[in-house]
Amino acid sequence: MGFESWVSMAMLGLILSVLVALYTRCGKTWRLLSYWHVTTQERQTRSNWHAEENRELRSALRAEKAHVEQLQRKVEILQALLPVA
């Protein structure tokens, strides 16, 4: 084997080692993307749950405000019926 053959073999070895390094990095990147996907789905689920809870709370607050207004009107009517001393 001549010098050129050794250089060719060395270059092939270098290329192979670079490919192996890229393959392992791709595996790490894939795992990172999978983890990111799962956590993003979990956050979206929690966000949807909080949004639904907020809608329910706003609805309950509107109902309570309407009830308070109704009670205030009743108090005003009853106060108007009381004799002035």
Does the structure show a pLDDT above 70 at 85? Answer: no
pLDDT digit string, tens, across residues 20-63: 988 888 888 889 999 999 999 999 999 999 999 999 999 999 99
Question: DSSP readout, 36-79?
Answer: HHHHHHHHHHHHHHHHHHHHHHHHHHHHHHHHHHHHHHHHHHHH
Q: H or E segment at 4? A: helix 3-81
Find how far residue 32's CA is from the centre of its chain.
16
pLDDT of residue 23: 87
Domain residues of the chain, as ranges? 1-59
For tokens 């990111």, name the residue: 36
- Pick from 67, 26, 45, 21: which is nearest to 37 by CA? 45
End-to-end CA distance of the chain: 123
Does the structure show a pLDDT above 80 at 81? Answer: yes
pLDDT digit string, tens, across residues 62-76: 999 999 999 999 999
